[in-house]
Structure 1
Amino acid sequence: MNTNQLIKVLLISAVIMGSNQVRSQNKSAQLSYKASKEAILLGVYHFDNPGMDTYNLEIDDYFTKKRQAEIQEVVALLAAYKPHKIFVEFLPGQQPKLDSLFALYASGRLTLKAIEGGQNEVYQLGFRLAKQLGINEIIAVDHPGVFLAPYADFISDTLSIESYQEYNKAYNQQMEKRQKDFTENTVKENLIHLNDWQQILNNHNYYNNIAITVKDTANVMFGYQEMEMEIDGLLYQMRSFDFNNIGVALATEWYRRNLFIYRNILEQTEDNDRILIIFGSGHLRHLHQFFDDNPEFKTVATNNFLNK
């Protein structure tokens, strides 16, 4: 290739690259133009240990002077975001109760300690922050879901599925370490850990790469028969779930529940809203995906605030 040909090739390449850059900038500008709402997702652990997760941390008394100071530190950091609305992991049917309790708390007629289950993060973080910022309502947007993990455990144990059992063993060891760390760390440190992006992906790994592989190859669950029995103390109702493909059913149900939560949030947002979503950290991967894929929303990294 002579010098003139080389110059022509370089000029053409420069034009193409410039054109691609302009298209990319235009696309970013279009998305930015559409983003009339902003969201921050705070993944939490359950301060009152309701025993609803696969592994439940034993939480110490969060009404001690030390823990209350730690919680107030987190609230002060979140207040810097200045959300207009706060969405929490309560079912919409619980909204009247939530409204009544918050009205009493905000007016100084009720303390968090006087609320049954007042150690819950919805009260400790949501109520405190809303009162501090003058927000009038904490919005319940959770959706009921079917928890199929015990059935995947049962099938894996019955069929001796080694990969699943090895994961469970490693996971339990990891949770034992988390138990120790979460007891020793501050609330802020615990939340920073849960909202780290790599930790969010690690948490979601169970659904994508472990549970989804489990199949009932020996027909342990008797196909699609309607029946009732107990497995590990849980009522077993077959209904319409494909237990022969329990892993896919499990991942599907979890995705479905988070889609409903996402829709509940969308129905309660308006242009120029800046929202805070307080949910168990297991929900983060799907919720981030939904909001990141929505051009009307700009998502803000939670740890940008918690690390200050």
Structure 2
Amino acid sequence: MNKIVLLSLIFAFNFINAQPKKKQILLLGSFHFENPGLDVAKVNTFNVMSDKSQKELENIANKIKKFGPDKIFIEWNYEKQDKIDKFYAKNTDSLLQKDADEIVQIAVRSAKKLGHKRLYGIDYNGADFPYDSLVKGMKEAGQLDLIKKNEETMKHYETDFNTKITKYSLTELLLDINTKASNGGNLQWYLETAIKGGKKDNFVGAFLVSEWYRRNLYMYALIQKLTESKDDKIMVLLGAGHTAMIREFVKHNPEFEIVELATVLK
């Protein structure tokens, strides 16, 4: 073999092996199982406590266990980690039977199966979300078409989700809201509708979008800070609107590779 060719092959082999192994990140976007009505769009509650859903949740948790994340991050104020630890230490069976929240039904259930000592809160609650001011700004600016588009978007989301919960299983719902189309739809409202709200010198819409970005950027920063070099795989369980945003950040980080929920649950 030609010496130059041989040296080239050795160089290529060493280069490939010198590349750090990417950390796998499972972004699990969820709807709020207990649906406290705090989101702008108002949707019906899906019964995750039924026997059928509980069996599905057991299957989902077993699949997550097989994936094997070293850490699980959740939508809980990072400043209240001590409360998460106390909450996580409670009797698991009691929590699973009484608390329908997705943090319990997915994160706690999965973490216990994995033998994790804790869950990691990464939510940041210092950002603003002035939706009422956005609507007011649209009205004051006479943005009738934008107001109509906003109302139609919210109504479509509510109708679409409420229809799906009458037809889909829990697993099908979770897979559906983690699709490329769903992720794109979550971002679209912020960047095509909300951002335009307000008169020329009133940036209420852009401010709302920037605050939403800030909240998610802070969560993404915490994910990176809390992920240690020894962690090969992590899982992030958040509302689907958050995971759609964080997905965009992760795309530009060569240290991570996204693992799709559909791949884990297959």
TM-score higher than 0.5 here? yes
1:187 maps to 170
Cα shift at 1:80:
2.4
Q: 1:205 aligns with which of 176, 183, 188?
A: 188
Distance 1:136 1:76 in 2: 18
Query: How many residues of Structure 1 are paired with residues of Structure 2 in the alignment?
Result: 252
1:146 maps to 128
Query: Normalising by structure 2, what TM-score?
Result: 0.86
2:254 maps to 295
CA deviation digits over 1:56-107, x for unaligned, max 9? 322143222222122223222322211111000000233222212222235x
Q: How does 1:73-112 map to 2 (within 5 A)?
A: 73-106=59-92, 110-112=94-96
Cα shift at 1:245:
0.8
2:45 maps to 59
Conserved? CA contact 2:140–2:198, under 8 Å = no
**Greater Cα radius of gyration, structure 1 or 2:** 1
1:177 maps to 160
Distance 1:143 1:29 in 2: 38
Distance 1:111 1:196 in 2: 30
What letter is aligned with 1:113?
Q
- 3-state DSSP class of the match of 1:141? strand
Which runs of 4 or more aligned residues in structure 1 lie more than 6 Å from their structure 2 counterparts after TM superposition?
none
2:149 maps to 167
Matched, 1:283 2:260: no
Matched, 1:128 2:109: yes
What letter is aligned with 1:59?
T
Matched, 1:304 2:263: yes
Q: 2:56 aligns with which of 45, 53, 70?
A: 70
Where does the alignment leave 5 or more consecutive residues of structure 2 unmatched? 1-11
Matched, 1:38 2:45: no
What letter is aligned with 2:184?
L
CA deviation digits over 1:116-166, x for unaligned, max 9? xx2110000000001111111111110012112221122223444133223
Distance 2:167 2:239 in 1: 20
- 3-state DSSP class of the match of 2:241? helix
Cα shift at 1:291:
1.7
CA deviation digits over 1:152-196, x for unaligned, max 9? 122223444133223223221332121121243111111111110
CA deviation digits over 1:258-293, x for unaligned, max 9? 110011111111124110000000012321122221
What letter is aligned with 1:52?
L
- 3-state DSSP class of the match of 2:216? helix
- 3-state DSSP class of the match of 2:48? coil
Matched, 1:263 2:249: no
Cα RMSD of the aligned pairs, angstroms, is: 2.4
Q: Could you tell me the percent identity over the aligned residues?
A: 27
